[in-house]
Amino acid sequence: MLGTALKLLRPSYALTALLLFGAWQGYSFVKSIPERLPLLPGSEQEQPGEQPVEAEQEQSDQMPSSPTVAAIQRIHPGMRILYWLVMYVLLCFATVPLIKKMLACESNMANAVLIIIYSGLGLLSAFGLAGFQFAWTTAILLILALAFSAGMIIWVGGELERIRVEENFG
């Protein structure tokens, strides 16, 4: 099935889908930051119902200092996993020409570099969507993301290599 998708799907289509998905999610994310963050102290508009200083101190201990991290953490974890999955699969499909060039070298070192780079990209994007926080559950999910990204790039590379061999000898 993947081989058929790789034959039918042009990398430019996947790149366009990746850019549109990224732009849509980026716009939604940037648009949601002011809605998800409380007004900054000292701004012209006051928050309704002033809270005591102790309650503000407890909230500041729970909330991260970065507004970006706070906004990422408020996205449902299932949606973050789905965003990562779609983004990584589209990245693999969008960079099919690069993967083909690396596979055409017929070098184990080039293949290892390809797997390490794509696995690293998958791990870094998963860590970013985890809100740059580290806990046991995050560590388990990061290990799963690393294993999935390595497996995905090996699968895509294997299918592309099979297609290349069939075209050369078929």
Of 61 and 142, which is predicted with more confidence?
142
What confidence score (pLDDT) does residue 152 get?
Answer: 93
Of 50 and 9, which is predicted with more confidence?
9
CA distance 51 to 159: 59
Distance from the Cα of residue 57 to its chain's centroid: 33
Task: Give the residue carrying structure tokens 């949601």.
Answer: 32
Exposed/middle/buried for residue 110 (C-beta within 10 Å: 0-12, 13-18, 19+)? middle
Q: Where are the domains of the chain?
A: 2-37+53-169
* Residue 112 one-letter amino acid: A
Say yes or no to pLDDT of 89 above 80: yes
pTM over 0.85: no
Hey, what are 118's tokens? 């794509």
Buried b (16+ CB within 10 A) or exposed e, 77-99: eeebbebbbebbbbbbbbbbeeb
What confidence score (pLDDT) does residue 46 get?
Answer: 47
Q: What is the mean pLDDT of residues 135-164?
A: 92
User: pLDDT-based confidence at 133, cuts 50/70/90?
Assistant: confident
